[in-house]
Amino acid sequence: MIDPKRLEQIAQYAEGLLGSDGIRDLEAALRNDAELRYTFLEYLNLDAALTASAALPESEGVLPLSTANSRSENAALPRKGIRRSHARYVAAAAVLAMIALGSWIFLSRQSHDANVSSVLVTVLSADDAELEGQSEPLAPGQRLMLAQFRLKKGSLELQIPNDVKLELHGPLAAVFEQPSRLRLAHGELAAEVGERGKGFTVVTDAGEIVDLGTRFGVMARENGSTEVMVFAGEVQVKPSSVKEGQSKWTLTEGDALRIAPNQPPSRLASVSVKEVSAEPTPDGPIVGQVTDNVKAVDFYRFYGVVPGGMTEGASVYTMRSFAKWHPLRGEKFPEELRGADLIQTFHLARQETDLRITVQLNRPAKIYVMLDTRVPVPQWLKKEFIDTGMKLRGGPWDRRPMTRGIPWDADGKIFVTYTVWRREVFQAGPVELGPPQMPGQTTNGAMYGIAVKKL
């Protein structure tokens, strides 16, 4: 049995708080006591493991689940458009080199307001975009001077100073108060902010969203509420409704929050995500909103709903942007699944035994659940679904406890294999899915994925 005083000495050593005399005293004790040396090693080993756990993305952590009903509406925001713009950006840069400064177009309404700043921007792409005051179609490489502006329709990708890219979706009205501060009156945008752009701020009537180096989306609604979702990195949200106590919220990748002038901030559980690779959905999305029974303080994870988004290369989870859906090695992506509405879950829930996810169906549909083949099949899945025999891979993942035991494939990558289960639902309405794992049988497996296709 180790003397508690010695243990405290080890703790102080591990924190760098032990003085010279203490070090020499501990040293002498360690020199003469093998049991103490092993305890010392265990303590420092735990310290190393805690450091590793704290550095992991939250998807590898544990979910602070408590059960209660939670309801949230959908918000429709772009996600991948900015990321996929890189190739076009290269082309745009080449075009830019040929454009003389004289071809800048000044679109700002003249204003002497101290809170309006003219900002030189470059068009990266335009899709049926119509800016008020601009009669000619917008083209990649075009330079504009914007201050107060209105995008009447369509989508517009812009490069603005300090390594910030904006994707704007009309109808939208906004004003640059400063080059790094945009006031959004209404409309939706996504921002990708590089290292030099940290601190870029979007302001709405409901509050301020300050970038901490990230990709995030904002939708300012006509009713004054604002929805914020983070696709990578972190943002800080300062709701205007909060005057005392906690005045700012830090959201990380996979978090979404609704703020409104006279209401406390609340979790936004379901976010509609636009993916370039998604199949067209002329009849509209099959999936309405997705909710769950998680109600925990400071919990803001969302489910991403991607209409027509189930295909090779689609993201499995709202976090972990590198974990994508793939067919088995050497096989084709199952046609039955291609073009289904994809529901991106959050990996953080992977070991929950109380979770209930409710999927609102707009019409009769087939629901697919992709379950990690290493995880014991939960009772609800066995009872309500059938094993289709189809398999998918999700990844690549880096080496971590969750992937322990999975061999590298021939390309040196690690993939989790999932079995595809299916249930046919013959009427619109809510469908409840159970927890990823059963009590007493939890394993270190991946969270399940979900897809929905019309019946």
Partner 1 sequence: MGELDEGSQILFLQHFTANEAGIRAFVRRLVPLRSDTNDVMQQVAMVLWKKFEQLEVKDDFRKWAFGVARYEALAWSRDKARDRLVLAEDVLVALADESLATEPALSAQRDALDGCLEKLAAEHRRMILDAYSPGVRIQDVASRSQRSVAGFYQWLHRIRLQLLDCVKRNLAVEGVS
Nearest approach in angstroms of CB 327 to partner 1 is 23
Minimum CB distance to partner 1, residue 350 (Å) = 11
Tokens standing for residue 341: 């509405």
CB of 40 to partner 1, least distance (A): 7
Neighbours of 207 (CB within 10 A): 24
CB closer to partner 1, 2 vs 95? 2
In sequence order, which residues have a C-beta less than 8 Å from that of residue 153 and are 6 or more positions away? 128, 129, 130, 170, 171
Instruction: Compute CA distances 394 → 197, 224, 345, 353, whole Å.
Output: 33, 39, 13, 22
Residue 54 or 101: the one with the smaller Cβ distance to partner 1 is 54
Shortest CB 163 distance to partner 1, Å: 22
Instruction: Report the residue number, 17 or 94, with the smaller CB distance to partner 1.
Output: 17
Quote the tokens at residue 133: 């005051």
Residue of 348, 345, 355 lying closest to 295 (CA atoms)? 355
Look up residue 315 and give its DSSP letter. B
Looking at beta carbons, which pairs linking 411-415 to residues 24 or more positions away fall under 8 Å?
Answer: 415/326
Of 23 and 276, CB closest to partner 1: 23
Which helix (H) or strand (E) segment holds residue 40: the answer is helix 34-55
Interface residues toward partner 1, by CB under 8 A? 7-8, 11-20, 23, 26-27, 30-31, 34, 37-38, 40-55, 61-62, 64, 296, 298, 351, 398-399, 401, 404, 408, 412, 444
Contact 160, 153 (CB under 8 A): no
Q: What angle separates helix 20-32 from helix 34-55, to the nearest 10 degrees?
A: 120
Q: How far is the CB of 140 from partner 1 (least distance, A)?
A: 35
319, 347 in Cβ contact below 8 A?
A: yes
45 vs 427, beta carbon nearer partner 1:
45
Is there a cis peptide before residue 401, judged by omega within 30 degrees of 0?
no
Q: Which amino acid is present at 200?
A: F
Whole-angstrom Cα distance, residue 311 to residue 333? 7
Are the C-beta atoms of 160 and 133 separated by less than 8 Å? no
CA–CA gap between residue 178 and residue 186 (Å, rounded): 18
- Output 199 or 261, the one with its CB closest to partner 1: 199
Of 282 and 405, CB closest to partner 1: 405
How far apart CA 204 and CA 193 sit, in angstroms, is: 18
At its nearest, how many Å lie between partner 1 and the CB of residue 29? 10
- 10 Å CB burial of residue 337 (0-12, 13-18, 19+) is buried
Tell me how far, at minimum, the Cβ of 324 lies from partner 1, in Å.
Answer: 19
Identity of the residue, 42 or 127, whose beta carbon is nearer to partner 1 in the bound complex: 42
Q: Cis peptide leading into 171, omega within 30 of 0?
A: yes
Taking the complex as a whole, how short is the minimal distance between the CB of residue 237 and partner 1, in angstroms? Answer: 18
Task: Considering the complex, state which of residue 9 and residue 74 has its C-beta at the smaller distance from partner 1.
Answer: 9
Pairing of strands 386-397, 324-326: antiparallel
- Contact at 8 Å (CB) between 305 and 285? yes
Nearer to partner 1, 40 or 89 (CB): 40
Please, what is the minimum distance in Å from the beta carbon of residue 307 to partner 1?
A: 34
Residue 37 beta carbon to partner 1: minimum distance, rounded to whole angstroms: 6
Residue number, 37 or 329, with CB nearest to partner 1: 37
The nearest distance, CB 356 to partner 1, in angstroms, is: 19
The enclosing H or E element of 380 equals: helix 379-384
Q: Across-strand partners of 416?
A: 394
